[in-house]
């Protein structure tokens, strides 16, 4: 595998995981404990109420997982 592609994949995965933690996992845990969501979450999604405060973080986590898995497949498809 090309080293540059490997570093590129690791970089994308790192950014996606950081986004998933700050926009998905932390706000979901805060919703479970009935606390106000974190600043980055409120900045992007405003103040969701009702079921949206659960659905949005779960959707962010699922989308991030799909992206990480898809990017993991890039080096396998790039082989000649």
Rounded Cα gap, residues 21 and 58, in angstroms: 11
pTM: 0.84
Rounded Cα gap, residues 19 and 41, in angstroms: 10
Return the pLDDT at 80. 60
DSSP 76: H
- From first to last of its 80 residues, the chain has per-residue pLDDT tens of 577 888 888 999 999 999 999 999 999 998 888 887 878 888 888 888 888 889 999 999 999 999 999 998 877 776 66
């Amino acid at each position: 595998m090309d080293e540059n592609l490997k570093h590129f994949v690791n970089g994308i995965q790192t950014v996606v995981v950081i986004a998933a933690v700050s926009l998905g996992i932390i706000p979901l845990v805060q919703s479970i404990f009935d606390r106000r969501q974190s600043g980055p979450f409120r900045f992007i999604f405003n103040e969701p109420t009702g079921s949206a405060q659960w659905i949005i973080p779960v959707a962010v986590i699922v989308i991030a997982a799909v992206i990480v898995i898809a990017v993991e497949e890039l080096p396998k498809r790039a082989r000649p």
